[in-house]
């Protein structure tokens, strides 16, 4: 390398070294928020902001602010901190049940659309106040932040996927409704998943149980992995059983015949029989076929029941209206949900493939 090139590279390398050192100093002297939660109070809203204090062994700390406007609460929080408040690394945006029931539009149109907020942060609802949920985390290690709980269950279990991008699509799109994870504090004051919240417009309308959440995940058709419980029957015997889905896919279709709208769901699941009674040996081919048949029939029944429940409650988190809209030129949201949605016919089919590696005795 020539001496001229060496002289040109030296300032560049020095700049890289100085930049790296500068970033390390900044990280240790800011309050980078990880979770931002909102409650209702007498004057408007109260925000609870959690961050990791790296100067105190990475423990979780909390700041709070009150205001009638969501953005102004962040100002109040900043007034309590000796270090700058930053939101670029925010991982979770959460609401108390009371806030979600009254409407989350003020937050969707301000915080969620802020360009510094990642579209991949998780949104959730808490059965408790965000103040009490946040206090339960203060002093704990940053690994206890609830976005970790949700992320691993979305990846490994039958929990529907969610993030800000999906929520904004559901909020501004036609023919679909918002849905968010529903959390609560258990008796040990630890945060756990309690179901899934379904919205009508921007307001929480109903909460699915953990069992219903499994079938809602199947209807979404994304990352079909996790456990499905059902009941095995043979002659006069009956016992619970578990099928673990390792992969799957779903196709949806809509048809129009004689003034009837029919929506079809075709699901294929591959996986293993993980738990079943001793009297139901899967070494026998007849029992293997019966296992899959009973699983398919019970899943189809639960899925149909859940779809009818959505219709009865007047919510559409699955996006049936959007699916029909894609096939009807004169479709309107008002007319569809006023008169057509109640009469949609659902046809659900499931085909299960059992892997031999999971059914050996």
- For the segment 149-204, what is each residue's pLDDT rounded down to a tens digit? 999 999 888 899 999 999 999 999 999 999 999 999 999 999 999 999 999 999 99
Q: Which of 185, 208, 231 is the last residue of a domain?
A: 208
Residues 116 and 244 in one domain: no
Q: At what angle do helices 285-313 and 210-220 cross, to 10 degrees?
A: 90
Greatest distance between any 2 Cα atoms in the chain: 90
Handedness of CA 151, 153, 157, 163 (dihedral sign): negative
Residues 36 and 123 in one domain: yes
Structural domain includes residue 53: yes
Same-domain status, 266 and 124 = no
Please state, as a whole number, how many other Cβ atoms lie within 10 Å of the Cβ of residue 206: 18
Answer whether residue 97 is part of any domain.
Answer: yes
**Domain total in the chain:** 2
Q: Are residues 131 and 37 in the same domain?
A: yes
Question: Considering 145, 173, 208, which residue would you say is the last residue of a domain?
Answer: 208
Q: What is the DSSP letter of 187?
A: T
In which residue are the tokens 């849905």 written? 179
Instruction: Say yes or no: 53 and 196 in one domain.
Output: yes
- For residue 45, is it within any domain? yes
Q: Is residue 354 part of a domain?
A: yes
Domain check: are 71 and 192 in the same one?
A: yes
Whether residues 239 and 181 share a domain: the answer is no
Angle in degrees, CA 104, 97, 190, rounded to 5: 125
List the structure tokens of 312: 């009865």
**Same domain, residue pair 243 and 179:** no
- Residue 248: domain span: 221-358
In a domain, 182, yes or no: yes
Identify whether 139 is part of a domain.
yes
pLDDT (tens, 9 = 90+) of the chain, 361 residues, equals 555 555 555 555 555 555 555 444 455 678 899 999 999 988 889 999 999 998 888 899 999 988 877 667 777 888 878 788 888 899 999 999 999 999 999 999 888 888 888 999 999 999 999 999 999 999 999 999 999 999 999 988 889 999 999 999 999 999 999 999 999 999 999 999 999 999 999 999 999 999 999 999 999 988 788 999 999 999 999 999 999 999 999 999 999 988 899 999 999 999 999 999 999 988 899 999 999 999 999 999 999 999 999 999 999 999 999 999 999 989 999 999 999 999 999 999 999 999 864 444 4
Q: What percent of the chain has pLDDT over 90?
A: 71
Domain boundary among 184, 208, 232: 208
Place of tokens 């990791």: 52
- Note whether 311 and 187 are same-domain residues: no
The span from the CA of 69 to the CA of 45, in Å, is 7
Residues 58 and 132 in one domain: yes
Please report whether residue 25 resides in a domain. no
Residue 13 lies in a domain: no
CATH, residue 275: 3.30.300.210
Place of tokens 């949806």: 252
Same domain, 37 and 185: yes
Same domain, residue pair 200 and 268: no
């Amino acid at each position: 390398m020539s001496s001229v090139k060496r002289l040109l590279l030296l300032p560049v390398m020095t700049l890289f070294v100085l930049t790296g050192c500068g970033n390390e100093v900044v990280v240790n002297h800011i309050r980078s928020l990880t979770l931002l939660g909102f409650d209702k109070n007498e004057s408007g809203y109260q925000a609870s902001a959690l961050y990791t204090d790296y100067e105190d062994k990475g423990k979780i700390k909390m700041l709070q602010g009150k205001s009638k406007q969501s953005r102004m609460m962040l100002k109040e929080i900043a007034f309590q901190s000796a270090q700058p408040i930053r939101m670029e690394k925010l991982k979770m945006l959460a609401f108390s049940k009371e806030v979600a029931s009254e409407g989350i539009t003020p937050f969707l149109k301000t915080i969620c659309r802020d360009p510094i907020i990642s579209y991949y942060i998780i949104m959730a609802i808490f059965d408790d106040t965000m103040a009490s949920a946040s206090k339960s985390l203060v002093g704990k290690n940053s690994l206890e932040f609830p976005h970790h709980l949700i992320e691993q269950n979305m990846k490994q279990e039958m929990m529907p996927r969610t993030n800000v991008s999906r929520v904004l699509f559901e909020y501004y799109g036609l023919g679909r409704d918002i849905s968010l994870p529903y959390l609560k504090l258990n008796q040990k004051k630890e945060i756990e998943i309690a179901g899934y919240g379904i919205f009508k417009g921007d307001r929480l309308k109903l909460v699915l149980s953990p069992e219903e959440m499994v079938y809602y995940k199947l209807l979404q058709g994304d990352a079909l992995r996790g456990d499905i419980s059902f009941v095995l029957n043979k002659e006069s015997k009956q016992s619970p059983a578990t099928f673990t889905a390792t992969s799957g896919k779903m196709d949806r279709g809509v048809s129009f015949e004689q003034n009837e709208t029919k929506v079809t769901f075709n699901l294929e699941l591959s996986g293993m029989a993980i738990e079943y009674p001793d009297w139901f040996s899967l070494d026998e081919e007849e029992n293997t076929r019966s296992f899959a048949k009973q699983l398919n029939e019970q899943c189809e029944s639960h899925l149909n029941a859940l779809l009818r429940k959505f219709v009865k409650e007047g919510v559409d988190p699955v996006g049936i209206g959007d699916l029909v809209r894609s096939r009807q030129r004169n479709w309107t949201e008002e007319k569809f949900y006023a008169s057509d949605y109640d009469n949609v016919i659902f046809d659900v089919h499931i085909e299960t493939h059992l892997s031999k590696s999971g059914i050996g005795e």
